[in-house]
Copies of this chain bind each other. A is one copy, B any other.
Amino acid sequence: MARGINKVILVGNLGGDPEVRYMPSGNAVTNVTLATSESWKDRQSGQQQERTEWHRVVFFNRLAEIAGEYLRKGSKVYVEGSLRTRKWQGQDGQDRYTTEIVASEMQMLDGRGGDSGGYSQPDPMGYGQPQGQPQGGQPRQQQRPAPAPQQQPQQPPAPDMDSFDDDIPF
């Protein structure tokens, strides 16, 4: 039961490949970062401005497996979920807080995925090939660039797997 509504809807692109981990229970946990951006014309300078917002999204269980399998760096994705602020200890022993979107629904919005390898097994989600892409001409090579090494600014540690409760309410 919920008292209140805590809902997030994102459409954005993955900043890197998903990171999949497994809990002792065997359940999967997948983390991605998602970029959304806005651009507008600055009133004073008349300059075009842009701001990118980065979101930390976490998937659990079945959704974590699907995300790990189908999403790739650059994938465009719809994510629906809820906000959760999680506490962790910095190396200096101080408390830190990180806000994440705990996904409850995910939908791929492009068919590239970003993975050149393609599927060797059937597509459990029935996802896969893109809708809305021009179909003439030659199918093109998958262009996913090599995984960029990436420093997260202030990387919070991965959540302690043992502290996860399979009964997390979503």
Q: Could you list which residues of chain A lie within 8 angstroms of chain B, going by C-beta atoms?
A: 1-16, 19, 21-25, 27, 29, 31, 33-40, 42-44, 49, 51-56, 58, 60, 72-76, 78, 80-88, 90, 92, 94-99, 102, 104, 107, 109-139, 142, 146-147, 149-150, 152-154, 156-159, 161-162, 164-170
Q: Which of B35, B51, B53 interacts with A149 by CB under 8 Å?
A: B35
The DSSP consensus for interface residues of chain A is loop
Known: A9-B7, A104-B170. A1 touches B133 (CB 8 A): no
Known contacts A36-B147, A75-B132, A90-B94, then 14 further A-B pairs from the complex at CB < 8 Å, ordered by chain A residue: A3-B146, A7-B10, A8-B83, A13-B132, A21-B161, A27-B166, A33-B152, A40-B169, A76-B109, A76-B128, A119-B134, A124-B136, A127-B132, A128-B130
